[in-house]
Amino acid sequence: MKQTFLLLTAAVALVVASCGKTPQPPVAEKIPYVVESNGNERVDNYFWMRLSDEQKNAETPDSQTVKVLAYLNAENDFAKAAMKHTVKFQQELFEEIKGRIKEDDETVPYFDNGYFYHTKYFEGKEYPVLYRRKDGTETAEVMLDVNILAEGHDYTGVGGASVSPDNNLMAYGVDHVSRRQYTIYIKDLNTGELLSDTIVNATGQSVWAEDNKTLFYVKKDPETLRAAVVMKHKLGTPASEDQVVFDETDETFSVYLGKTKSKQYITVTSNQTLTTEVRLIEAANPDGEVMTFAPRMVGHEYSLDHLNGVFYIRTNANGAKNFKLMSCPENRTGMAAWKEVIPHRDDVLFENYEIFDSYLVADERIQGLTNLRIISLGDGSEHFLDFGEETYTAGISVNPNGNTTLLRYSYSSLTTPSSTYDYDMAARTKTLLKQDSVLGGFDKNNYESKRLWATATDGTQIPVSLVYRKGFTQDGTAPLLLYAYGSYGSSTDPYFRSSIVSLLDRGFVYAIAHIRGGSEMGRQWYEDGKLLKKINTFTDFNDCARFLINEKYTSAEHLYAMGGSAGGLLMGAIVNMEPELYNGIIAAVPFVDVVSTMLDASIPLTTFEWDEWGDPRKQEYYDYMLLYSPYDQVKEQEYPNMLVTTGYWDSQVQYWEPAKWVAKLRDMKTDDNILFMDVNMTAGHGGASGRFERLKTVALEYAFILDLEGLKE
């Protein structure tokens, strides 16, 4: 890259003045900056909006920081002015959505190593309280009250709570910035006091060795935020003396830790889009050798677990695109010793599994729907759980113990609130332990869900899940919100969202397009929506939109689309391609400056995403990515009404991507439709950290599309 301008110290030209009663949007200054790559040049007029972490964290802001903050605050001021007439409605929606949530609530306890663990929320509190109860006693003890940790902070994220094998200590990570850089603390659960041991700039995840004094964790690269170095900490010693256990030097990989179900091995997994490598540390010998389970091979993805002297390996080796399950004895882990347990199938995606002493549970996706298959390790007999709905999602829940016949699983659908079950695999009986309460008079019998199939331009059948309130008339007049993600092989399952009821009760249809780029229809579904086939993701979505219009579930005048992060990229691409299909777009924390970000290895997430999007340093990928990159493809045309959200501290999609995109859209679009950006100045990728505070963004999003429909209450 080369800079072609001198940073101006003058304030950015912003116009937020009113013309009559109509607020005017800010006008961002254009300062040309040339982005170079392999002889290719692109001019970025808004590159000046980018700030480094050093600039953002400086006690005294420099002139560029002042300028950028002025622009972002002007965007927020404009958004507030533009939506001022909906403030009362937003508050009503917030209270309505919040009112469906049982404030005094708790999770179903699970048993592990002599204790029952559960999480509880209290009325009026934003954050959970972590509890445990010793087996044989009646009184639960507080392990961690996140509400106390959050006092005095705009943002609080807690992750990776890990209890030592002797049940006396708990390690946990805290992030008060929303950059996913955690500080790890260690608490004495007997006294409630914090130990002096403190570890900074970590992932938040940590794993105990069996000696109860050795803790493994992963440090992050301070610039790229890549989880790269596994460290070993001995209690009572300074973190500066911690030893490097494994350094993942390949910048396209990141590292995470785990522990096998047998608790005999700590796993160190190096992972990128196409390749995995697992190392093992004996939990009883934390200073021993770090062993490689199966050396990395490009294209080989695997994960493992261990119980009763046997390793189980989910792998795509030898052409098993949809994955298969293999096993081997713990003293012979080479691939030559692997034996097939569940074979590969072309029409079934083997997604996950759980092992018990006498049973194996396979989580499989068949024709887009999740299925749980129970297999007896004794006689090989098997059966499926019956869920009884047309469209739903189910999955394996928390099952830390192998010596049981009970499987804990979760279930939900577009009409059924999240439910937790225990299933007795021997007796074949299930027990509903809890179904989330939905207050405010919700009755699932008032709603209907369907699963439809849209035909893509190339003839591919795309599943669409949708839900509406009974009494809906299919005549093309109903408003419809269409959601999708479509990247990283992540499947968007039709689970229950209590907030959506606020739309359904006002006549909306809610739909999910299970487009290529996810894994709903198997691994090939993912392969057909990435790299040099990525455009399928966007055309699939537009084809689903057209299908819903043709089938008279809605019309272009009443169709709204929503997606976040990589789904925000989807939003940017579809409106560049076919803006006339939509009346409104919600793009949440959108990844829209694809080429520039993938060219810059210093930006968090870039290096290990080249296998997802392509490496634009190679001309073939550069040219292809330019074809769909939303920021690069903005053109002089009419665009739908648009709401864009971002977080100033976002570590996943930097705030400047949506900020630049909005500025360019304003400069080039030829319509008078609404376009505004809401910038959360105290949060990152996931928005506000409190369970109620984040609902204010949902209320804003809903007020935006409801207002466009002329609905004021």
Indicate which residues carry an active-site annotation.
Answer: 565, 650, 685
Residue with tokens 């989580």: 363
Contact partners, residue 208, CB within 8 Å, separation at least 6:
162, 163, 164, 165, 169, 171, 214, 215, 216, 283
Distance between CA atoms of residues 494 and 390, nearest Å = 10
Cβ atoms of 481 and 468 closer than 8 Å? no
Q: Determine the angle formed by the axes of helices 566-577 and 535-550, rounding to 10 degrees.
A: 70
38-74: string of b/e by CB count within 10 Å (b at 16+)? Answer: eeeebebbbbbbbbebeebeeeeeeebbebbbebbeb
State whether residue 586 is helix, strand or coil. Answer: strand
Residue 218 and residue 230 in contact, taking contact as beta carbons nearer than 8 Å: yes
Q: What tokens does 645 get?
A: 């959200």
Residue type, 452: L
Supply the DSSP symbol for 16.
-
Q: Of the candidates 555, 467, 484, 479, which has an alpha carbon nearest to the alpha carbon of residue 708?
A: 479
CA separation for the pair 418, 438 (Å, rounded): 10
- How far apart are alpha carbons 582 and 484 in whole angstroms? 14
Q: Around Cβ 201, how many Cβ atoms within 10 Å?
A: 15
Please enumerate in sequence order all residues whose Cβ is within 8 A of that of 258, keeping only pairs 6 or more positions apart, or say none.
Answer: 207, 266, 267, 269
Residue type, 408: R
Chain Cα centroid distance, residue 460:
27
Given the DSSP bridges, would you call strands 480-483 and 509-513 parallel, antiparallel or unpaired? parallel
Q: Which residues pair with 443 in a beta bridge?
A: none
How wide is the angle at C-alpha 120 spanned by C-alphas 200 and 650, nearest 5°? 40
Q: Which of 576, 566, 563 is closest to 626 using CA atoms?
A: 576
Q: Which residues contact 637 (CB under 8 A, 6 or more apart)?
A: 579, 669, 670
Handedness of CA 496, 499, 500, 501 (dihedral sign): positive
Contact 595, 629 (CB under 8 A): yes
Name, in order, each residue with C-beta under 8 angstroms of 406's C-beta and a sequence gap of 6 or more: 422, 423, 424, 425
- Distance between alpha carbon 267 and the CA centroid of its chain, in Å? 23
Angle at 487 between CA 482 and CA 490, to 5 degrees: 90
Q: What angle do CA 285, 288, 289 make, to 5 degrees?
A: 135
Q: Rounding to the nearest 10 degrees, give the CA dihedral for residues 289, 293, 295, 301.
A: -140
Place of tokens 């292809």: 624
Reduce the DSSP state of residue 197 to 3 states and report it. Answer: strand
Element (H, E) at 219: strand 214-220
Instruction: Provide CB contacts within 8 A for 240, sequence distance 6+.
Output: none
Quick one: tokens of 475? Answer: 């005549």
- Quote the crossing angle between the two packed helices 63-82 and 656-668, to the nearest 10°: 60
